[in-house]
Copies of this chain bind each other. A is one copy, B any other.
Amino acid sequence: MSHLTPVNPSHGLVDVPGFRVGVTACDIRNKGNDRLDLTLLASDRPAAAAAVFTRNRFAAAPVLHGRRLLAGGRPVRAIVANSGNANACTGQEGMADTETMAAHTASALGCEDHEVFVCSTGRIGERLPMERIKAGIARAATGLSDAPEAGCKAADAILTSDTRRKVVTVRTQIGGRTVTVAGIAKGAGMIQPDMATMLAFIATDASIPAPDLQSFLTTAVGPTFNAVTVDGDTSTNDTVLLLANHMSGVTLESAADRAAFAEALLHVCDDLARKIVGDGEKITKVVDLRVEGAATQADAEKVARTIGNSLLVKSSWFGGDPNWGRLLDAAGYAGVDFDPDRVVLDYLPCEKGDPVPVFAKGQAIHANKPLWKALVAAPQFGIRLHLGGGEATFRLLASDLTDGYVNFNKSE
């Protein structure tokens, strides 16, 4: 039985006891405006940390720095994050800038350099405006707060081309006591996480040792952040960071306790991942794509990603055109072996309603066209492709591709 209680509205990380945030504007984009672009998350107590990072070979300086910190396995006190500049492909100077951000944060908070994670997101290949950032860190540290409006501002300050704040909070009962898990995220473009994704920060007041925390996070990230795509581009900066500050005093003593925490964390990750796809750059559709009947999960994932990243499929979703032919074509070149005559394709309504069979026994079920045409006109719908060859499945949350996306990304 689930003890999960969503907290609405969520104010992000400040919903977890013992965490405070500071937010400020450093004009990191060099636009001369006062858009919020620097966030400090501080834990009143040393917190256990878990993280997953991008597998991109051009991993940005803060990612390389974060991996080192994580490998140390020591408690953490803070995260400092900026938007507007990814500090990626910036060489030794970029790494020095990341280290400077950690050092300034540590000195402002009175902790050690190695207790501070650094995250950056935004444009690739340019140096950070370090003087403004150093001053910003000092301001943010002075203004640390656990007020609801501060929590919301922190969630806003990490956004780039996102149009909506992404926050979620849940509470669960473990051993008769309350544990809170809350998270914030940014997404929008360059979204096909591999291993981790974009920026997401999650906090909890549970008392969980770092190795356990890492195992919980890795498990939760697979079917959530790692199962979404907007444009198939995996960023240089993808990072999910989870801090557990032990504030609740709640430890996980039994399998039931572990299951309750895992459920809460999965809920938070799933909610943030969905919000990232739903706010993908200029998208108009979210498609819940389930590939079933594959020999292995890797096969199912390959087929799902090939469909979910096909330009022709995504363009047809944008047009509200139920183009099952392009979808099967994409499945056919995914590099996975299956028998086309055993493939079954259904379109699924988003909420209630029956699946609509589209293709089976090697042919389209043309009589159902009016039904599936109506179904795919909705802003959200599902697709189930059964390959007829095994028991493995994969579920990918994908978006359409719009002329707006192309025009938005013509230049930076």
Pair A340/B58 contact, Cβ less than 8 Å = yes
Q: Which residues of B contact A90 (CB under 8 A)?
A: 362-363
Pair B56/A319 contact, Cβ less than 8 Å = no
A360, chain B: closest CB distance, angstroms: 10
- Asked if A312 is at the interface (CB within 8 A of a chain B CB), the reply is yes
Pair A409/B92 contact, Cβ less than 8 Å = no
**CA A233 to CA B359, docked complex, whole Å:** 20
**CA A57 to CA B294, docked complex, whole Å:** 14
Pair B406/A325 contact, Cβ less than 8 Å = no
Given contacts A57-B338, A58-B340, A410-B318, whether A362 and B92 have CB atoms under 8 Å apart is yes
- Asked if A316 is at the interface (CB within 8 A of a chain B CB), the reply is yes
Q: Which residues of B contact A231 (CB under 8 A)?
A: 310-312
Q: Which residues of B contact A92 (CB under 8 A)?
A: 362
How many of these chains are in the complex?
2
- Asked if A258 is at the interface (CB within 8 A of a chain B CB), the reply is no
Given contacts A310-B232, A311-B231, whether A332 and B363 have CB atoms under 8 Å apart is no
With beta carbons under 8 angstroms apart, the residue of B311, B323, B404 that contacts A311 is B311
Given contacts A57-B340, A319-B411, A337-B57, whether A124 and B89 have CB atoms under 8 Å apart is no
Which has the most chain B C-beta neighbours within 10 Å: A192, A194, A337, A401?
Answer: A401
Q: Which residues of B contact A57 (CB under 8 A)?
A: 331-333, 336-338, 340
With beta carbons under 8 angstroms apart, the residue of B54, B58, B407, B410 that contacts A331 is B58
Given contacts A319-B410, A405-B315, whether A329 and B362 have CB atoms under 8 Å apart is no
- Asked if A361 is at the interface (CB within 8 A of a chain B CB), the reply is yes
**CA A225 to CA B59, docked complex, whole Å:** 34
Q: Which residues of B contact A233 (CB under 8 A)?
A: 310-312, 326, 329-330, 333
**CA A123 to CA B232, docked complex, whole Å:** 26
Which residues A321-363 have CB closer than 8 A to chain B?
321, 323-326, 328-333, 336-338, 340-341, 359, 361-363
Q: Which residues of B contact A189 (CB under 8 A)?
A: 312
Majority secondary structure of chain A interface residues (helix, strand, loop or mixed): loop
With beta carbons under 8 angstroms apart, the residue of B59, B190, B402, B410 that contacts A406 is B402
Pair B89/A312 contact, Cβ less than 8 Å = no
Q: Which residues of B contact A326 (CB under 8 A)?
A: 124, 190, 233
Pair B412/A407 contact, Cβ less than 8 Å = no
- Asked if A364 is at the interface (CB within 8 A of a chain B CB), the reply is yes
**CA A407 to CA B126, docked complex, whole Å:** 34
Question: How many of A's residues come within 8 Å of B, CB to CB?
Answer: 68
Pair B91/A362 contact, Cβ less than 8 Å = yes
Given contacts A58-B329, A333-B56, A333-B233, whether A409 and B338 have CB atoms under 8 Å apart is no
Which residues A368-412 have CB closer than 8 A to chain B?
401-412
Q: Which residues of B contact A409 (CB under 8 A)?
A: 311-312, 315-316, 319
Pair B324/A125 contact, Cβ less than 8 Å = yes
- Asked if A55 is at the interface (CB within 8 A of a chain B CB), the reply is yes
- Asked if A169 is at the interface (CB within 8 A of a chain B CB), the reply is no
Chain B residue nearest to A334 (CB atoms) is B57
Q: Which residues of B contact A407 (CB under 8 A)?
A: 403
- Asked if A197 is at the interface (CB within 8 A of a chain B CB), the reply is no
- Asked if A212 is at the interface (CB within 8 A of a chain B CB), the reply is no
Residues of A within 8 A of B (CB): 54-59, 88-93, 123-126, 189-190, 192, 194, 231-236, 309-312, 315-316, 318-321, 323-326, 328-333, 336-338, 340-341, 359, 361-364, 401-412
In addition to A90-B363, A321-B411, 8 A-B residue pairs with Cβ atoms within 8 Å of each other are A57-B338, A58-B331, A89-B340, A91-B363, A124-B328, A125-B324, A315-B408, A323-B412
22 A–B contacts from the bound complex (CB under 8 Å): A54-B333, A57-B336, A58-B332, A88-B329, A89-B325, A89-B328, A123-B325, A125-B324, A190-B326, A232-B309, A233-B311, A233-B330, A234-B333, A236-B332, A311-B405, A315-B405, A315-B406, A318-B406, A319-B411, A320-B410, A321-B411, A403-B403
